[in-house]
Amino acid sequence: MTAQGESCPNSVSKSRFPVALRWRKLLAATAAVIALPGLAAPAMAVPGHGIAHRATPEGGFEELMVPSSMGPIKVQVQWAAHGGDAALYLLDGLRAREDFNAWTFETNALQMFAQDNVTLVMPVGGQSSFYSDWRSPSSTNGQKFTYRWETFLTEELPAFLEGYGVSRTNNAVAGLSMGGSAALALAAYHRDQFQHASSFSGYLNISAPGMREAIRIAMLDAGRFNVDSMAWPWSPAWLRMDPFVFAPQLRGLPMYVSSSWGVLGVHDQVDSAVNVFNTVNAVALEALSMVNTISFMARLNSLDIGAHYNLQTKGTHSWGYWQDQLENARPDILAALGVQ
């Protein structure tokens, strides 16, 4: 779903059973490890045996080009501050860009984790993908390849990062909006890889009445992607993506789930006609996320599955609030990864 926040809090419930942005091609590289530091143009890097060369030191920022079945994918990383092997994957929203992962410039996530012994892994691209494996290329925008984002994030990318000393098993995943439901799906189906999952303003009941058509409209708006190319209506592939449906597979997984009712808060600006338009969209999208989240919470409660919920009144579908929620989730994430 798209909003003002996707590129362009007040009380916290922390019990097990609480009562209550905007939504990558050349062949696989076979050369030696090359990567430029900072925000310079990324270089293809293929780790060999042992630890591959890092262009920046511990705690440094680097861009890698990672081979995949979709072609090379840019991945932005901030290496663990003290050489640790844990990693946090940060997923973008529906309007994911082709140049940067929005967590790197819409939030202070890099600074937030700068002193922590955890590598931030921020894949670039995947607009409207839901980070899933599609059945075919999108038929409405001339896409030349089929999205295989789940395969990339759970097979190709972990294998690549292992060459840099990043664990394939001690990872967490967090995302906003489209990336929120995707974070839960990746963790649910790859429990050996992810030890914690966070969803910020996610759509967690996508098979509810009207949700598929809402997603259809949002995906057409964000790159003219066709939801039917992702998965047929209510097919096994579609239901596999729905957190409400796969909820039983989340048992025992530490989770942080947040959403708001869309009431204007500290990060909202309505000082221009454009901001008013964007804010109205952000209000509606966040309220829809909250309805989805409450339904998902009830589903987990019925299954006796706990999570850390942070359900707010104030807050819209925008990056300021997602930055706040990442900061709130940070202690849980570090604890699940065993990072001191």
Q: Which residues are catalytic?
A: 177, 286, 317
CB 91 within 8 A of CB 76: no
CB 193 within 8 A of CB 171: yes
| Sequence-separated contacts (24+) of 301-308 with Cβ below 8 Å | 301/17, 303/247, 303/248, 303/251, 305/247, 305/248, 305/250, 305/251, 306/15, 306/16, 306/17, 307/16, 307/250, 307/255, 307/256, 307/257, 308/14, 308/254, 308/255, 308/256, 308/257, 308/332
What is the spatial distance between Cα 315 and Cα 285, in angstroms, rounded to a whole number? Answer: 11
Q: Which amino acid is located at 167 in the chain?
A: S
What is the spatial distance between Cα 159 and Cα 47, in angstroms, rounded to a whole number? Answer: 9
**Strand 73-78 to strand 61-66: parallel, antiparallel, or no bridges (unpaired)?**
antiparallel
φ and ψ at 327, to 5 degrees? Answer: -65, -40
Tell which residue, 257, 274, 226, 241, has the closest CA to residue 322. Answer: 257
Cα–Cα distances (Å) from 150 to 70, 144, 187, 265, in that order, read: 11, 18, 11, 34
| C-alpha dihedral sign at 101, 104, 108, 109 | positive
What is the spatial distance between Cα 207 and Cα 292, in angstroms, rounded to a whole number? Answer: 10
Please count the residues of the chain: 340
Q: What is the DSSP letter of 293?
A: H
